[in-house]
Amino acid sequence: MAHDEPVGLYLHVPFCRDRCTYCSFVTTRDDSLQAATVARLAKQVRSWGAALEHPKLDTLYLGGGTPSLMSVEELDVLTNSVREAFDLSSLTEATLEANPGTVDLTWLQAARQLGWDRISLGVQTLDDGLLRRLGRIHDGAVALESLELARKAGFLRRSGDLMVGIPGQDLSRVLDDARRMVDTGLEHMSIYLLDLDKNCPLKADVDAGRLALPSEDEVATVFEALQVALPRMGLEPYEISNYANPGAESKHNSRYWERRPYLGIGPSAASHLGDFRWTEEGNIPAWADARAGVEIQELDAAESLAEIPLLGLRLHRGVDWNALRNRAEKQNLLPLIDSWEAKLAPFERGGLVIREGGNVRLSERGMLLSNGILSTFV
């Protein structure tokens, strides 16, 4: 099964030193599973490379969890498996995620030498009290130091995560954190809204009235303030939650919104090849022991068409609506487009959706209210 179009590869490393109080990701503190999981990751990389007949890879992303908890030897094994199994002649970006408090200069230099050229650091906030509330293992000073260590190790492409909606976090704190992160020279920032898993400790505190989440209006005010402040700091918005120096957008993450093919390997990793989608087993021991199968979903023509605006309108440049109509016409799906246009009309009149020539995009305010607009396509 050869694959002509270059693919992206996501590898999930599901280990963390401690579990954050808000976390809903597939990750564990049990490092006794780490060796078996990394070995299976490398094995799966080789199997997929063989199954797709040594496909071209143009973006690579090592996420987690905390990939920076891997030893240099483990990272070496995993990186080499990718090098052997895939054609990297058109690789444009190799990102690894790291958490402050788990990296030192030696590890970062080794990662850089293995070919990783972009790093995404989970900073979240620089407020030590809020970091404790989130159960993070680092303080603000360590987060800034990690960004600096990454620069020293030769990572010219650095991204930081900034979280909003934390109980007790105010607007001036968010803006100050953003400024201090940008001052370290990072080229990319991802803004996350605190999202509480139903079983996480922070949710129990909120439900019991011990902590209060900010209101929707307060959160919207913060997002709006960042829409104004970040471009002044040189970071332009290119997606609802992502800002970058011009040209420094995440190529791997962009492929999700552009519906370009990707392969996800690891517990809970998702894949999209052609019209096929699947998510791997989320139980880490079962995944490491190869005890679980996956259920493959094939999208029909209408579902596939709906993904284009559902994902593409997250991007600031929006969607080529003429091309979408042409595709729909060929598939006898024009009534679907007509129904979407009818649903989008009130948003357009309200200034949340902008139609310019054959292009449709969300306005800045539309980005803040995107959930309601994008539900048109679900």
Least distance between ligand SF4 and beta carbon 87 (Å): 31
Pairing of strands 157-164, 118-124: parallel
Is residue 111 within 8 Å of 146, Cβ to Cβ? Answer: no
For 24, 221, 223, 366, the CA distances from 371, given in Å and listed in that order, are: 20, 16, 14, 9
Each residue 45-84 as x (binds ligand SF4 by CB under 6 A) or -, in order, gives -------------------xxx------------------
For residue 49, say if its preceding peptide bond is cis, omega within 30 degrees of 0.
no
User: Percentages helix, strand, coil for the chain, rounded to the nearest 5?
Assistant: 45, 20, 35
Q: Does 23 bind ligand SF4 (CB under 6 A)?
A: yes
Which amino acid appears at position 102 of this protein?
T
Q: Which two tokens stand for residue 78?
A: 């995993």
C-beta of 135 vs 261, nearer to ligand SF4: 135
Q: Which of 3, 25, 36, 148 binds ligand SF4 (CB under 6 A)?
A: 25
Least distance between ligand SF4 and beta carbon 93 (Å): 21
- Residues within window 157-196 making contact with ligand SF4, judged by CB under 6 A: none
Q: What is the largest CA-CA distance in the chain?
A: 58
Least distance between ligand SF4 and beta carbon 192 (Å): 10
Q: Which of 8, 122, 264, 266 binds ligand SF4 (CB under 6 A)?
A: 122
Nearest to 127 by CA among 98, 151, 163: 163
Where do the DSSP E strands lie in the chain?
Answer: 7-13, 57-64, 93-98, 118-124, 157-164, 188-193, 236-239, 242-244, 262-265, 270-273, 276-279, 297-298, 319-320, 353-356, 359-362
C-beta of 202 vs 373, nearer to ligand SF4: 202
The stretch near ligand SF4 (CB under 6 A) out of 16-24, 106-114, 155-163, 219-227 is 16-24
Each residue 86-115 as x (binds ligand SF4 by CB under 6 A) or -, in order, gives -------------x----------------
Compute the radius of gyration of the chain from its Cα atoms.
21
Q: Does 27 bind ligand SF4 (CB under 6 A)?
A: yes
Nearest to 241 by CA among 258, 253, 255, 233: 253
The stretch near ligand SF4 (CB under 6 A) out of 13-21, 70-78, 164-172, 338-346 is 13-21
Least distance between ligand SF4 and beta carbon 18 (Å): 7
C-beta of 265 vs 315, nearer to ligand SF4: 265
Q: Which two tokens stand for residue 341?
A: 């246009």
- Residues within window 282-311 making contact with ligand SF4, judged by CB under 6 A: none
Q: Does 20 bind ligand SF4 (CB under 6 A)?
A: yes
CA 365 – CA 296 distance, rounded (Å): 37
Least distance between ligand SF4 and beta carbon 146 (Å): 13
Give the count of residues interacting with ligand SF4 (CB under 6 A).
Answer: 11
C-beta of 161 vs 187, nearer to ligand SF4: 161
C-beta of 27 vs 242, nearer to ligand SF4: 27
List residues near ligand SF4 by CB under 6 A.
16, 19-20, 23, 25, 27, 64-66, 99, 122
